[in-house]
Amino acid sequence: MQRTQKKTILYKFLKWRYRHISTKNFILILSILIGFLAGLVSLFLKNATHLIQALLEQDLIQWQTSFYFITPIVGLSIVYLILKYIVKEDLKSAIPLVLYSLSKTKGIINTAQAYLPLILAPITVGFGGSVGLLGPAIGSGAALSSNLSSLFHVKTKTRTLLIGCAAAGAISAVFKSPLAGLVFAVEVFSLDLTLTSLLPLLLASVSSIITSYFFLGDEVLFRFEVLERFQIFDIPFYIVLGIGTAFASIYFTKMYFWILKFFDRFTKKIHKLIIGGLAIGVMLYFIPPLYGEGLGFINSLLHGNHFAALGQTPFDHLTNNAWVVIALLIGITIFKAIAMTTTFAAGGCGGIFIPTMVMGSALGNVIAKIINNLGLGLHVSEANFTLLGMAGLIAGVLHAPLTSIFLIAEITSSYELFVPLMITTAISFIISKNRIEHNIYTRELAEQGQLLTHNKDQNVLTLLNLEDCLETNFVTVEETYTLKQLLSEAVAKSNRNVFPVVNHDQKLVGIVRLDDIRDIMFDITLYHKVTVATLMTKISTTIIIETDNAKTTMRKFQDSGAWNLPVIKEGKYIGFISKSKLLTAYRRKLISFA
């Protein structure tokens, strides 16, 4: 009864909306609403995580300091139990899931993905998991946006734009950087930056940042003012930093996939949890800044306090030596990627954006300290290099150079570092992009041919669903059929000139073409002598529905010269796809996409 009432109310609202609010204005209203929701999601994740960390630091739980290595495995165990016994769903990486939904499910995301990150990410990070909260904020906001779009019956392309609004809003709320949020949505989600898309993205960013100001006031993650200005003589050092962040980005990406592959050897999730949890705990014991997101670590480096950044370590008595500090910061640079990926592999929930910034800040600070302590009378700003290191890693790891430039510029409320930012990020991006074509978010989707890019033709092929092009009005025959059976049960009943030959398991064994039997089809003496087995030809090229996509299918048509190709699903014949049908579907999708 209540459900019917809700549907009636929704129907009346939609009817009123179509009469009184244009589609364009309705999209703008939705973008503001989505920005507000993305802001709330980001604030909830932050506050929930801080609450957990505060509880662990209370006097009642003093063992947390002594047994630092225990807390991560406790957090991961809670996440494991929630997923196994309450949610009963697998945890999926937030941004790759969103990218997959954009390319393959028309932007429709499971409702569970809206609330799961809100529960699991604070537990993972709060108990010491070395991951970030931005990825879960984007994933949760995108899921809310997707479900809201479905509720109000918006078109697929509009749903894609609104998911981009959620991403822009999440970054705006976390960093109070609206331009960086907008650029991130364009760079990572491959949105077309036109006047039509620009305004909703801006409104979502503004709405989200206003939400953040409303609840947090002028509190920001990084409060820093650039005091040392750009010097042209420092350009060689920026080039060195760009090269350093490029190789660090390549290391970060390769280490990420290597560790995940290593953990794939363990078939049981509980084994991954135990091994990963203990490994993280040991790393945290020796390198405390790896605990959680690491935003405090970045802030301490920006204010020149490397003692606070490093925290209490077994090497405290040696930290008066600058080279020992450099060595410890190098350790953080190396082990942040390892700790982060191990957290994921062990079943944790989080993002890679902020860990990337942590690693970049440590590397930038290291390079500045090395330059300043070489004894050659050289001096560079360690704080500036810390910022530039973050930008270089974001550009190299995420392949998002413009996002990194605008993010750092907005964090510092200054464009004083714009030239150094462009030098560092450009070098980092070019080297890492040439070495690793796809970033952590997109590699798996790209390998499956399911990645949307800024290439419109490629996107149309990615969005095409082969099953929509399937033609099933072909009459099948068996190898044992005589020529008479072939003519009476297939040729006479079909307007097609191709007849698939299948066995009793519906597996394709060949085809008979009308042209192959044209010379003998009226020879009555052969009606009972000739069988389909002797008339059919073997098929060398087929379309496999599970592995092929529109792009590979186009290539198969080109290589084979065929006009029709049989389609196989789960090893069985299900129909044909014709070149004309595929091209027609492509043209329609291109018109819709544009």
DSSP single-letter state for residue 86: I
Question: CA-to-CA distance for 197 and 152, rounded, in angstroms?
Answer: 19
pLDDT in tens, 94-132: 788 887 777 777 778 888 888 888 999 999 998 888 898
What pTM value is reported for the model?
0.77
Q: Is the pLDDT of residue 293 over 60?
A: yes
308-315: average pLDDT: 71
Q: Please tell me if the domain spanning 2-216 has the same topology as the one spanning 459-593.
A: no
Question: CA-to-CA distance for 58 and 63, rounded, in angstroms?
Answer: 10
Q: Which of the pair, 60 or 150, is modelled with greater confidence?
A: 150
pLDDT in tens, 56-97: 776 444 554 455 678 888 889 999 999 888 887 777 777 888
Are 275 and 266 in contact, with CB atoms under 8 Å apart? yes
DSSP 221-250: S------SPP-GGGHHHHHHHHHHHHHHHH
Residue whose C-alpha is closest to residue 548's, from 582, 508, 502, 524: 582
Question: CA-to-CA distance for 585 and 155, rounded, in angstroms?
Answer: 18
440: which residues sit within 8 A by CB, 6+ positions away? 253, 256, 257, 352, 397, 398
DSSP single-letter state for residue 575: E
**Structure confidence at residue 24 as a pLDDT band (50, 70, 90):** confident
Q: Is the pLDDT of residue 469 over 60?
A: yes
Which CATH code of 1.10.3080.10, 1.20.1440.230, 3.40.470.10, 1.10.3470.10 fits the domain covering 2-216? 1.10.3080.10
Residue whose C-alpha is closest to residue 358's, from 442, 252, 242: 252
Greatest alpha-carbon span in the chain: 103
**Structure confidence at residue 175 as a pLDDT band (50, 70, 90):** confident
Encoded amino acid at 406, one letter? F
Are 272 and 347 in contact, with CB atoms under 8 Å apart? yes
Buried b (16+ CB within 10 A) or exposed e, 402-431: bbbbbbbbbbbeeebbeebbbbbbebbbeb
Fold (topology level) of 232-451: Clc chloride channel (1.10.3080)
Are 506 and 534 in contact, with CB atoms under 8 Å apart? no
Are 373 and 323 in contact, with CB atoms under 8 Å apart? yes
pLDDT in tens, 342-358: 999 998 898 899 999 99
Q: At what angle do helices 112-126 and 134-151 cross, to 10 degrees?
A: 170
Q: Which sequence spans correspond to the domains of the chain?
A: 2-216, 232-451, 459-593
DSSP single-letter state for residue 374: S
411-431: average pLDDT: 87
Q: Helix H segments across 454-549?
A: 456-463, 483-489, 514-517, 532-535
The CATH number that domain 459-593 falls under is 3.10.580.10
575: which residues sit within 8 A by CB, 6+ positions away? 470, 471, 472, 474, 566, 567
Q: Which of 159-163, 232-236, 431-435 is the most confident on average? A: 431-435
The least confident of 246-260, 262-276, 475-489 is 475-489
Buried b (16+ CB within 10 A) or exposed e, 154-171: bebbbbbbbbbbbbbbbb
Encoded amino acid at 46, one letter? K
Residue with tokens 């299900």: 574
Question: CA-to-CA distance for 275 and 270, rounded, in angstroms?
Answer: 9
Question: CA-to-CA distance for 310 and 589, rounded, in angstroms?
Answer: 54
In three-state secondary structure terms, 451 is: coil
DSSP 153-204: T--HHHHHHHHHHHHHHHHHHHHS-HHHHHHHHHHHH----SHHHHHHHHHH
Q: Which of the pair, 284 or 465, is modelled with greater confidence?
A: 284
Residue whose C-alpha is closest to residue 94's, from 55, 27, 38: 38
Are 134 and 355 in contact, with CB atoms under 8 Å apart? no
Are 95 and 133 in contact, with CB atoms under 8 Å apart? no
Q: Is the pLDDT of residue 206 over 50?
A: yes
Are 307 and 319 in contact, with CB atoms under 8 Å apart? yes
Q: Which of 10-24, 136-150, 187-201 is the most confident on average? A: 136-150
- Position 61 scores a pLDDT of 46
